[in-house]
């Protein structure tokens, strides 16, 4: 492993200073430009050199080259932890972890831990959509996740995440909201989606979107019958059978793929260290068919149109694979039925 630390930089600077004697003004300027790379730029990457086998026999891979911006060159596809630019870390998904909800899921991605619970309650449809139910999102940033959330430190982030979820589900194709309507203009199901951040270790939006989709997949809504008497008054009867319920179709529920621009490359599933190196990121909401439903840029940096197009194409490609893997594991877990072993909060 090659680590460019502060001592290494000071050594390079001292080595360069020994050769300053006897140089004219032009040479001194050239040397100064060569060593003017800041400590922050060189310290941004801790490079792991894998053991490789080449035509000349096994040996260490050549040292990584750096750009002036501190990121890898365009032809390289290697990150600090050995992943490629489009590789996700291991994702742990478990559903039905909270007993007093209509559906729940817990997702771990690296050091990020998210818990989502869905509660179905009866309410009145909105005036502009009298024959549809709707979803409400609430995000709680636990102080245990990071010291920055103590007091009201996580309120702004919680509001930002909730608004992003509203934008993702603000279309007719994500969830069949008409199936949540009981009687037009009178009664409908309201799904309260509560997101709890247990631990923050980078790539929050992707992890939350995966957890929300898994929780909606696990949601079971009691079947309702509307009975009308001779006088025209209506009574609502809920089924007592736990298996007589409505299941939501989550096939078109999108997932967020966050692409962080680092140097000349963009990476998915960035760690906290990689996020610190990125000045601009692109959040792409992608369905299982690779359709982009919405897009949002975060960060203080800028993105040129060519980079945005490339990041969108990467997001669609990676999103389709992510959806396929998530759907497969959700159906596999459900097929186990009561026999599956629950880990919950003890794992």
Least confident of 53-62, 83-92, 198-207, 316-325: 53-62
Between 35 and 269, the more confident residue is: 269
Which tens digits make up the pLDDT trace of 172-199?
A: 889 999 999 998 999 999 999 999 999 9
Listed in order, strand segments (DSSP E) in the chain are 2-3, 46-47, 51-54, 57-60, 91-95, 103-109, 112-123, 134-141, 181-183, 187-199, 220-222, 224-228, 234-238, 245-247, 255-262, 265-268, 280-286, 292-298
Q: What is the pLDDT of residue 129?
A: 92
Which tens digits make up the pLDDT trace of 121-172?
A: 999 999 999 999 999 999 998 877 777 777 777 888 899 999 999 999 988 8
């Amino acid at each position: 492993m090659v680590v460019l630390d502060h001592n290494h930089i000071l050594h390079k600077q001292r080595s360069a200073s020994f050769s300053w004697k006897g140089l004219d003004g032009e040479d001194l300027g050239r040397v100064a430009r060569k060593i003017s790379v800041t400590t922050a730029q060189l310290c941004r990457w801790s490079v792991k050199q894998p053991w490789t086998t080449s035509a000349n026999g096994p040996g260490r891979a050549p040292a990584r080259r750096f750009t002036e911006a501190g990121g890898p060159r365009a032809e390289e596809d290697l990150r600090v932890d050995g992943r490629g630019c489009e590789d996700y870390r291991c994702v742990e998904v478990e559903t039905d972890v909270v007993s007093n909800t209509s559906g729940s899921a817990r997702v771990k991605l690296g050091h990020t831990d998210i818990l989502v619970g869905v509660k179905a309650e009866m309410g009145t449809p909105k005036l502009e959509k009298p024959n549809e139910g709707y979803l409400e999102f609430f995000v709680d940033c636990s102080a245990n996740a990071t010291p920055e959330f103590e007091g009201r430190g996580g309120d702004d982030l919680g509001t930002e995440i909730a608004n992003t979820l509203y934008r993702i589900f603000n279309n007719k194709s994500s969830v069949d909201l008409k199936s949540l309507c009981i009687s037009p203009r009178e009664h409908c199901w309201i799904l309260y989606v509560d997101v709890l951040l247990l631990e923050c270790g980078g790539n929050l939006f992707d992890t939350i979107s995966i957890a929300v989709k898994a929780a909606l997949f696990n949601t079971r809504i009691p079947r309702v019958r509307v009975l009308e008497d001779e006088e025209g008054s209506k009574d609502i009867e809920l089924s007592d059978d736990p298996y007589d319920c409505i299941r939501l179709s989550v096939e078109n529920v999108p997932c967020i793929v966050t692409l962080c621009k680092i140097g000349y490359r963009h990476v998915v599933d960035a760690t906290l260290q990689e996020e610190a190196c990125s000045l601009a990121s692109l959040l792409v909401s992608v369905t299982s068919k690779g359709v982009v439903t919405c897009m949002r840029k975060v960060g203080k940096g800028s993105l040129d149109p060519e980079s945005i197009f490339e990041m969108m194409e990467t997001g669609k490609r990676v999103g389709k694979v992510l959806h396929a893997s998530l759907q497969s594991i959700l159906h596999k877990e459900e097929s186990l039925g009561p026999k599956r072993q629950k880990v919950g909060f003890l794992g």
